Structure 1
Amino acid sequence: MVEIYLTVMTASVVLGIPIVKLLLDKFGRKTICVGSVLVLVPLLVGLIFIQGSLAVNIPVLIVYGVASSGLFMLPWVMLPDVLDEFKFQTGKELDTYFYAAYNTIMMLGTIIAASVITASLEISGYKTGACSQPESVGFALRIVMSVFPMANLLLSSIFVWKHPITEATRQRTKAALQETRCPNTSTMSSDVTTETPSNDVVISTIT
């Protein structure tokens, strides 16, 4: 049963990535982030109370996986926007430091999550190697896998919504950086237009 759940969850996350990419291009980062949170919160609440069969859990896992793929993609999509904005405002490129800080925070979050789960199992009376566990273990896992993620999602959605980089500023920064990368394009085109009449004059003079 667990293997089926994991397979469905993984497949829905992978298949949801191109869907989320299309939605990101159409509606923007902030809208997709808040929308994903609004979809995930009811599902996380349902994990506390609902203990359905396979037919009930499979559709829930599919929706959960597709919504989760948006949250998996958002950090990697928004981080280049931050780098571009930083370069636009300061003229410096510190990509390595930003990515290192992001990976450090991700690993720190993983360590904290693993510690919370381990402590919850210990408090709920988990018995290592036992074939059956007390009901308190299942309830503790449902709380850890629902309440804490739900609180973190709601908090993170507030920070994302207040993120200063909007779609308008992102497009402005992208255009400005593109112009700095190719500063001679307009100059070359003007040179070509000015040289053409002089050649025509020379040809007409020779004839």
Structure 2
Amino acid sequence: MTDVTKTRKPLSVVTKLCYGIGGIGPDVIFLVFGAYTSTFLVQVAQKNGYMISSAALCLVTLAGSLTVAFGTTERKDISSTSGGEGDAKSLLRTLKTVLTFRPNVYLLLAYCCIQAAVSITHGAIALYVEYSLDREDQIENVILASMVSSALAMPVVAFVVSKIGKKTCYLCSQLVAIPLFIGLQFVPRGSLAVYAIVIGLGFSSGAHFFIPWTLMSDIIEDCYLQTKERLDTAFFAVLFSTNSVGITVGLITATVGLEIGGYEIGSCFQPESVGSAMRTLLSIFTSALVFVGVLFIWKFPITEERQKEIMEAVKKRKLASASQHDASQPNGSLSDMNQEVLIPEETSSSIPNGLQEEDKLVSSDTDLSVLSVCKESAV
């Protein structure tokens, strides 16, 4: 039987870098768009700054797209290796299966709530620093600290996931974010304690950017075990759409909060109610959204035990596929097959061991009567 680890060639470092660079563009756009929404309202960025940042975003997106297009290849045998049977399903039936699959429903609801909270933070943090803390000179540094901490959180989250599991890590990381969001309500004016909170929230956001995508792989395999259908594309497409919905809800909520707080676009001076509105928005609304998301994560049905069962089933399926692949290969070369057919076992055992190969063919000790047996075997 063929070893499964040897039947599939691992991805090269170049391929992994291509996939990684290709995913940078959308994430950078979503993060920076929320940050610059705030800086636009605060009027801290000039026209040239916007032009430079827009050009940089376009270049990053173009580089990511070109890297994916020319640095990766599409698998042509995906239909035969995936084991799927759902190619003929209609779009509506596929969406119904995806949107009604219980583990996926819980993940989408949790992801949407937490993504909305993260988007509110990205969209209102600059206004919070400006009007709630009176630290306009720290806006760019606070945003930078948030983004850097989110990036640095990725390897830490991956290590923690390997120790305590995906669901537990995701649940704990978001539980930690709730008191941090509430803490934004009580940061004194002029205090730099906001850096500690922002860095902590950055690590929580890093877990949110990383873990749901790994949970989706478990959902896909679980769905296949129950329905015998591979719906990878549909699952990931719905998750991407949920990501966009969460970002939209978060930015709209931040805009509504500004309206309620009495923010005046273009004015150099804003009322005190704007600072109070930002505190309320970043503490109460975000913590409430994260709390609802935590409830959905807690109800997520794929536990560590279920995940082990899924991985065991996947391993058995791969072994079965490898066995079928071995069975479909020829059992030997033509010469080996001819040798087995034409030379009877008793004849080969009657040849003396000390004879050379040519002696085996012409030796007088050889029983020539076996030629008739060989002829009958060949026929």
TM-score range for the pair, normalised by the shorter chain length: 0.7 to 0.9
1:78 equivalenced with 2:215 (yes/no): yes
Match of 2:317 among 152, 160, 180: 180
Equivalences for residues 153-192 of structure 1 within 5 A? 153-183=290-320, 185=322
Aligned to 1:122: 259
In the alignment, structure 1 residue 107 sits paired with structure 2 residue 240: no
Deviation at 1:144, TM superposition (A): 1.6
What TM-score results when the alignment is normalised by the length of structure 1?
A: 0.85
What is the DSSP-based 3-state SS (H/G/I as helix, E as strand, rest coil) of the residue aligned with 1:48?
coil
Partner Cα distance (2:278, 2:143) in 1: 16
Q: How many residues align?
A: 197
Give yes or no for contact 2:218–2:307 (8 Å, CA) kept in 1.
Answer: yes
Q: 1:131-146 maps to which residues of 2 (within 5 A)?
A: 131-146=268-283
Alignment partner of 2:167: what SS? helix
| 2: CA distance, partners of 1:87 / 1:164 | 16
Please give the TM-score of this superposition, normalised by the length of structure 2: 0.48
Read off the aligned partner of 1:73 and give its amino acid letter: F
Specify whether residues 55 and 113 from structure 1 end up closer, same or farther in structure 2 by C-alpha distance, changes over 3 A only.
closer
In structure 2, stretches of 5+ residues that fail to align are 1-137, 332-344, 354-379
State the SS of the aligned residue for 2:213: helix
Counterpart contact for 2:184–2:197, Cα < 8 Å: no
Matches of 2:246 and 2:271 in 1, distance apart?
Answer: 28
Quick one: structure 1 residues 51 and 106, their matched pair in 2 at CA, closer, same or farther if it must change by over 3 Å? Answer: same
Query: Which sits farther off after the overlay, 107-116 or 17-26?
Result: 107-116
What's the counterpart of residue 198 of structure 1?
none
| Deviation of 1:81 (Å) | 0.9
The structure with the largest helix share of the pair is: 1
For residues 40 and 140 of structure 1, the distance between their equivalents in structure 2, rounded to whole angstroms, comes to 20
Residues 1:18 and 2:151 are matched in the alignment: no
Aligned partner of 1:63 among 195, 200, 206: 200
In 2, Cα distance between the equivalents of 1:124 and 1:52?
18
- Letter in structure 1 aligned against 2:143: L
State the alpha-carbon separation in 2 of the partners of residues 69 and 142 from structure 1.
Answer: 23
Q: Which residue of 2 aligns with 1:42?
A: 179
Q: Percent identity?
A: 32
TM superposition shift of 1:47: 0.7
**Deviation above 6 Å: which 4+ runs of structure 1?**
none
Q: 1:77 to 1:51 in 2, by over 3 A?
A: farther
Give the letter aligned to residue 141 of structure 1. M
- CA distance, structure 2, for counterparts of residue 27 and residue 106 of structure 1: 26
The SS at the match of 2:279 is helix
User: What whole-Å deviation, never above 9, does each CA across 1:17-62 have from its counterpart, x for those lacking one?
Assistant: 1001110111012221221122111111111121354642222222
Change (3 A) 1:161 1:129: same
What displacement does 1:164 show? 1.1
CA RMSD of aligned residues (A): 2.4
Unaligned runs of 5+ in 1: 193-200
Alignment check: 8 A CA contact 2:175 2:294 kept: no
